[in-house]
Structure 1
Amino acid sequence: MKVKSKPGDFKVFEVLKEKPSKRDGKYRYYTLFKRGIETKEAIGRVAKLSRVSPKEILYGGLKDKNAETTQFIAVRRPLKLKEIKDENLRLCFVGYLDRPPKELIEGNRFEVLVRGVRKVPEERFRVLEDVGIPNYYGEQRFTPVRGGRFFVQELLKGPKCALVSLFAPAGWESSLSRRAKKLFIQGKFKEASSLFRGWRRKVSDFLSRGGSFEEALKLVPKEEIEFQLNVFQSYLFNRLLSDLIKGKTPNLVKFKYKLGYLYYPLESVSVPVELPAFTPKLDLYDSLISQIGVDRKSLFHLSDYFHSFKRKTFVKPKDFEIEEVNKGSYLLKFFLPSGSYATNLLRFLFSAV
């Protein structure tokens, strides 16, 4: 199966719970269209052109780089953003609202062109409509995981291991980024510093002047640590839900992903409507974390970095449509609530991704 052969094959349109007003509101709202650009990079460009700090620009979440995405961003009044009309980046003012995007995102509408697949078994459509699919986190959630190890495991080994984990290069990054990270890991902090931006430059520069790894780790933004720990929470949610489903019915399908296997039932199963995310105070995941050599008590000092929340175990797409546009190619249109992954639905329908 081929998905995202080009950005236009995968389109995402963010949906708000409220319609922006043309008259009044605490926040100015804009639609941000991007193609082949990471969300943070797009925000950085908007901030630079508008002469505001990137921290002042609010948004609901990160969107896929290899896609055409339209999302809402906002700034608190009286700040304004400069409208942009480039081919791969567009920004347009749409009105005002009293709450920031994170509180108002309802979900996303998707238009996905899938190539090189066989016809979907009718049973899958029935299950999709009657049961839904497990609300697993998608593969792209786990891009920070290197060699099957999580940041939290490296953090428990000490500040140096934690920093090396954060600076580990990835194949999908630019050659400049990979080069900078390799220099950092080799201990060439001064050379690496000249190639980095943001907090990675601060960390590299600090170490180049003889600073300790323990103090350097404190220069990493809290948001980055929280994100890395949330990746760990996401894995544990996937693993627990998959194990629960496997234990409820033999009538299921199994798919391999980056961190193991995920099970999808072909009939209704009795599992909790929601599952709480892992936190160091919760013993629900003890057997799972012990399997990867982590003791829950060793994480107590990190409690402030773990967000406490619940996630629905199953999700049903709304307004689902599928059309065969060519032999072996299908155009899918559907809506998913915020936090649910389109690639998860594609995996179930086409036994791939």
Structure 2
Amino acid sequence: MKLKVRPSDFKVTERLKEGIITPGGGHRVYRVIKEKLTSMEAATELAAHTGVSTGDIGMAGLKDRQGVTTQFMSVARGPSVSVSAGAQSQSLGIQSIGFCEEAITAEASDGNDFQIVIRDLRDGEVDHLRTALEPVRASGLPNYFDSQRFGNLRHGQGWIVLDLLQGDVSGALKRLVASTSSFEPPARRRLKEALGRSWGDWSACRSIAGKLGRHHSVFEHLKRDPDDFEGAFDRVGTRERLIHLYAFQSHLWNRALALWVQDHFEERISLRGIEGMLRFPVGEFQLPPEWGGQFMLAGSQLDGVTDPLQRELYERTLERLGLTVQALDMPNLAGFQLKPEPRPAIVHPLKLRVRPAEEDNLHRGARMVKVEFGLPRGAYATMVIQRLVGQSTGGVDERPPAAFQPSREERGERGGGHDFGGDRSDAYGDPRGNDRGDSYGGEYGGDRRGGARRGGVRGGGARRGGSRRGAPRSGGGGYRGGGFGPTEDRNFERPDRGPRPDGGEQDFGGDFRPRGGARRSRGGSSRRGGGGPRGGPRGASSRGGSSRGGGSRGGGPRGAGPRGGGARRRGGSRRR
């Protein structure tokens, strides 16, 4: 399956809480409809029309670049503005719609409504979607954090917090500031490689940090006190540190809830996520009534986790990581502690509708389906799609996830890829707001200058399947889903039938994939490069064609929100 082949395939409309918009008030409210723009870029345009700085724009959350998104922004005592899409901007429409008493923040949002076209579906996937519809309507689905939350894995840093908990502060700091990512420009990647090679020579590292434009104070401190890695870590930007803290806390939450599903439901769907197996009950289900619908995000030493069953699930999760409850604490790092917080264990999509399947005019022999639903803040639309289209497995499915490798599409058009943020409902009501790990983009936001620098179309990269090197990546092709299935070129893991006798694996289409080699079809022939989508090599083009352009990338603008600084205007210059 593919998502976001065309911008109109993915529509997001923000919902504001009742009573936010009023006939009068100190802040004017604007409806902003955008396409191929980040929220920060749209905010910069609105700032230009209203005569304020980008930091003066209020908004509830960051929305995806890919797709057509509608959200609301506010400006204190702002003028009336009317910009029609296709007039001054072909990708941005702005309309004054009223007022509000205070600037719009995450607290003003009531969630998002989605209209999503799922393409390149086979009949079996369409049938599964229809079968899954009623159980999801009746019981919802586990409210897992999706891959958008775990940019630390997408960008090769691993679990920084786990390193800290195990006492490896130097290693954690090195991985945080010097890990390279295929999502970042080659020049920046080379500087980070040099930083890693020079580790321990703090004067040299300080010089490299100057060229990187970040982490100066980290290495200034190490020049003064070469052994004080805790003090150096404290000089990493607060937002960047918290992103890693929240990612690890979310990982523990996902693993503990997935254990509960594994323990209590023999028939379940198991999908491979970026940070582990995600398990879903197949039929209707209920939470233990004593949970009150909530599963706690764990604090230090499981502070706040009072339910005995939830505590046991967390203890088992920590044991698998080689940790004890007492070790889940970082007393030497001030202001860097896990804090407990309730999170709904189940998300119920609102007004979930699936339109009749149609022929997919962009993928020969495939079908497409339009899905509509609403979500509260903090829930992920991609998780709903996975649950609807995933395959039932049941039985034993406990296998460690493979190391994440981005698909070719994810490494593709860095300026137009999946921004990871708009396909979830922003900020689930916690005081963290947007500081929750969704704006990785390889640079996090610690730079504090704001702006989305992942602009131009990349010309590099060889296409498998025969297309030329150096061709610019188009906006087509869609989201192929490497972020959901680290070992597959599909969004979802194959049915969990267990390993093959010779160590290979069986993919969705029943074809045999030798471990570490090219896939071999039932007829015995080897397919490479531009093979079909049913289990070809990672990133292989779809049915002889290239799946281009709609690649994922981890994050949006660097700033935490509109107050993170300016963003480049639409169509910004390409990277040099």
Q: What TM-score do you get using the length of structure 2 for normalisation?
A: 0.53
Counterparts of 1:35 and 1:255, CA distance in 2: 30
Q: Deviations over 1:80-121 (max 9, x none)?
A: 898875334555443322343211111111111111113133
Structure with the higher helix share, 1 or 2 = 1
Q: Which residue number corresponds to residue 108 of structure 1?
A: 112
Stretches of structure 2 lacking an aligned partner (at least 5 in a row): 199-204, 306-310, 361-366, 391-490, 493-576
Which of 234, 239, 245 lines up with 2:261 in the alignment?
245
Larger radius of gyration between Structure 1 and Structure 2: 2
| 1:61-91 CA distance string (max 9 Å, x none) | 333343333323335x357898875334555
Instruction: Go from structure 1 to structure 2 and tell me whether the alpha carbon gap of 1:25 and 1:68 turns closer, same or farther (over 3 Å shift).
Output: same
Q: Does the CA-based 8 Å contact 2:160-2:175 persist in structure 1?
A: no
C-alpha contact 2:206 2:219 (8 A) present in aligned 1: yes
Unaligned 5+ segments in structure 1 are none
Query: What is the total number of aligned residue pairs between the two structures?
Result: 347
Q: Which runs of structure 2 are paired with 1:1-353 in the superposition (5 Å)?
A: 1-18=1-18, 20-21=20-21, 23-40=23-40, 43=43, 55-75=55-75, 77-78=76-77, 86-99=89-102, 100-118=104-122, 119-121=126-128, 122-145=130-153, 149-156=158-165, 157-158=168-169, 161-162=172-173, 164-175=175-186, 177-187=188-198, 188-196=205-213, 201=214, 203-204=215-216, 207=219, 210=223, 214-271=230-287, 272=291, 273-280=293-300, 281-282=303-304, 284=311, 285-298=314-327, 299-301=329-331, 305-323=337-355, 324-327=357-360, 328-351=367-390, 352-353=491-492
SS at match of 1:130: helix
Closer/same/farther in 2, CA of residues 21 and 107 from structure 1, 3 Å limit: closer
Q: 1:337 to 1:149 in 2, by over 3 A?
A: same
Q: Secondary structure at the match of 1:116?
A: strand
Counterpart CA distance in 2 for 1:80 and 1:151 is 45
- Going from structure 1 to structure 2, the CA distance change for 1:191 and 1:148 (only over 3 Å counts) comes to closer
1:94 alignment partner AA = I
Deviations 1:242-292 (A, max 9, x none): 111111121211111111211111223342321011110246223312322
CA distance in 2, matches of 1:53, 1:182: 36
CA distance in 2, matches of 1:46, 1:183: 40
Between stretches 79-88 and 160-169, larger displacement belongs to 79-88
CA distance in 2, matches of 1:168, 1:268: 43
Compare 142-151 and 310-319 and name the one that shifted more. Answer: 142-151
Alpha-carbon separation, structure 2, partners of 1:331 and 1:267: 23
Say whether the 8 Å CA contact 1:317–1:334 is kept in structure 2: yes
CA contact (8 A) 1:133 1:314 kept: yes
Shift of 1:296: 4.2
Separation of aligned partners in 1, 2:379 and 2:136: 14
Across the aligned residues of Structure 1 and Structure 2, the Cα RMSD in angstroms comes to 3.4
Query: d(CA) in 2 for partners of 1:33 and 1:204?
Result: 38
Distance 1:185 1:247, change over 3 A: same
Partner AA of 2:73 in structure 1 = I
Q: Describe the SS at the equivalent of 2:120.
A: coil
Mapped to 2, the partners of 1:91 and 1:305 lie a distance apart of: 41
| 2:425 match | none
Asked if 1 retains the 8 angstrom alpha-carbon contact of 2:299 and 2:337, the reply is no
| Alpha-carbon distance in 1 for matches of 2:196, 2:47 | 31
CA distance in 2 between counterparts of 1:80 and 1:217 reads 44
> Normalised by the size of structure 1, how large is the TM-score?
0.82
Asked if 2 retains the 8 angstrom alpha-carbon contact of 1:226 and 1:305, the reply is no
Deviations 1:222-250 (A, max 9, x none): 23322221111211121111111111121
Deviates more, 1:157-166 or 1:117-126: 157-166
Aligned partner of 1:322: which letter? V
Q: Does the aligned pair in 1 maintain the 2:21–2:98 contact within 8 Å?
A: yes
Secondary structure at the counterpart of residue 270 of structure 2:
strand
Partner-residue secondary structure (3-state), 2:127? coil
* 2:298–2:304 contact (8 Å) kept in structure 1: yes
**How far 1:127 sits from its partner (Å)?**
0.7
Q: CA offsets, 1:139-176, max 9 Å, x none?
A: 22212225583121234421563353245333233445
- Measure how far apart 1:343 and its partner are: 0.7
Higher strand share: 1
Distance change (3 Å), C-alpha of 1:89 and 1:183 = farther
Maintained 8 Å contact 1:154/1:165: no
Whole-Å separation in 1 of the counterparts to 2:17 and 2:318: 37
